[in-house]
Amino acid sequence: MDKVISVTSLNYYVKSLLEEDFNLADIAVEGEISNFVNHYKSGHYYLALKDEKSLIKTVMFSAYNKKLNFVPENGMKVIVRGRVSLYERDGTYQLYATDMFQSGIGLQHLAFEKLKEKLFKEGLFDESRKKALPPYPFSVGVATSATGAALQDIISVTQRRFPCAKLVVAPCGVQGENSKQSIINAIKKLDGIDEVEVIIIARGGGSKEDMWVFNDEDIARTAAACRKPTVSAVGHEIDWTILDYICDKRAATPTAAAEIVFPDVRTLLFQIMKYEESISRNVKDKTERYTETLEYIRNSKGFNNVKILCSKSSDNLENYYKFLNQTIIQKIDKEKQNLVYLADKIDNNNPLASLKKGYALVFKDDKPVKADDKIKKNDRILVRTHLQELSCVVESTKTVRKKGTE
């Protein structure tokens, strides 16, 4: 006969066996709630989780159940995640819950949490691996549906904020399992185009089910492997997808993504004006300093002594004076030339300069009308001048031929 041990020792031993079992340390169990009690003092949940043949006692401490977005009820089918151990006082083994999901969405959410935890441990969410966005991107890739509202929102913001930029669109499906490979192919295609500086991955919102494809592990790893900075714009303010955690920047909507990526041309023009003022002020200050220096030299005792000593060599003295004066003039002229060059560059690159001269821009269907575009009677057009935007309907059209043509 083996040695005799106490009940407490036995329970402690069995508890240690359960807690050392790796398979029981993090387990998900599905069943129906019965005997549910919400303890009025501690706030702990006590319940039994059962199926057709068995049940297991379960406890969920208040620190964990406060995170639930629903209130458990008897008869509710749920998935409980937690660890298995033994309650020594009563000698009963039970499930200690850390999370609980309603069946159906529970399995999906559990898969989401496991993948999130897996990628987090790999360091794919670390801020240290996030790439910075370029300040002035002139070519931006967009992976989204070619017919969705997301693309139109991004185009609209681009035209308003940074019209000199080019959008490279890689059309793809954005909903359902069949869209997975389409999204992966679009991301890889854009990442392989040298001129593309940033990649926006977007869709125009929807339900959790609609956006679930963006929780796919293969899509996440494809985005993580991109050489170019990535911006997720799945279109949901509150819920985050796995892609949101992976990408270098996350935007709540496609519109917000475009606003993050593109600078505002109006702000840039204001900055250019400030630079122009600063350059002009610097030129003026330098001119005044050089003039003061010249006057100081001319009036200094040393300079007068030099004139006396060189009285017999007045021609040389005059040459020295001309040399100093010419050097100062050359420096001033150089600064002025730089100012003129920068001013011309500013004017040439100002996309709105032509409007100030009295010209106007004509848009049809949010696109600029070119010389060879056809406009018909009753078409709706937008005419933009320097100070106004005019919404017009074409009453008639007339073909204008250049002089000398038939």
| 310 plus 326 within the same structural domain | yes
Q: Does residue 404 sit within a domain?
A: yes
As a whole number of angstroms, the distance between CA 72 and CA 65 comes to 10
In this predicted structure, the answer to whether residue 344 has a pLDDT above a threshold of 80 is: no
In this predicted structure, the answer to whether residue 376 has a pLDDT above a threshold of 70 is: yes
Sign of the Cα torsion 268, 273, 277, 282 reads positive
Q: For residue 84, what is the domain's CATH number? A: 2.40.50.140
Residue 135: band (very low, low, confident or very high) from pLDDT cuts 50, 70, 90: very high
Find the mean pLDDT for residues 310-332.
75
Q: Does residue 356 sit within a domain?
A: yes
| 190 plus 271 within the same structural domain | no
Domain that holds residue 368: 352-406
As a whole number of angstroms, the distance between CA 291 and CA 279 comes to 18
* Longest Cα–Cα distance in the chain: 132
Find the mean pLDDT for residues 360-367.
86
Give the residue with greater pLDDT, 400 vs 226. 226
pLDDT of amino acid 403:
56
In this predicted model, what pLDDT tens digit does every residue of 296-312 receive, in sequence order?
877 877 767 766 666 65
| 178 plus 61 within the same structural domain | no
Q: For residue 219, what is the domain's CATH number? A: 3.40.50.10550
| 244 plus 270 within the same structural domain | no
| 299 plus 176 within the same structural domain | no
pLDDT of amino acid 377:
86
In this predicted model, what pLDDT tens digit does every residue of 36-55 receive, in sequence order?
999 888 899 999 999 888 99
Q: Does residue 112 sit within a domain?
A: no
Hey, which residues does 201 pair with through a beta bridge? 143, 232
Residue 401: band (very low, low, confident or very high) from pLDDT cuts 50, 70, 90: low
| 282 plus 329 within the same structural domain | yes
Domains in the chain: how many in total?
Answer: 4
Domain end call among 310, 331, 349: 349
| 331 plus 391 within the same structural domain | no
Find the mean pLDDT for residues 69-76.
86
| 198 plus 298 within the same structural domain | no
Q: Does residue 118 sit within a domain?
A: no
pLDDT of amino acid 296:
81
pLDDT of amino acid 343:
72
Percent of the chain exceeding pLDDT 70 equals 90
As a whole number of angstroms, the distance between CA 66 and CA 159 comes to 46
| 376 plus 298 within the same structural domain | no
Domain end call among 103, 120, 140: 103
| 330 plus 397 within the same structural domain | no
As a whole number of angstroms, the distance between CA 36 and CA 38 comes to 7
| 345 plus 303 within the same structural domain | yes
Q: What are phi and psi of 130, to 5 degrees?
A: -75, 135
Q: Does residue 93 sit within a domain?
A: yes
pLDDT of amino acid 237:
65
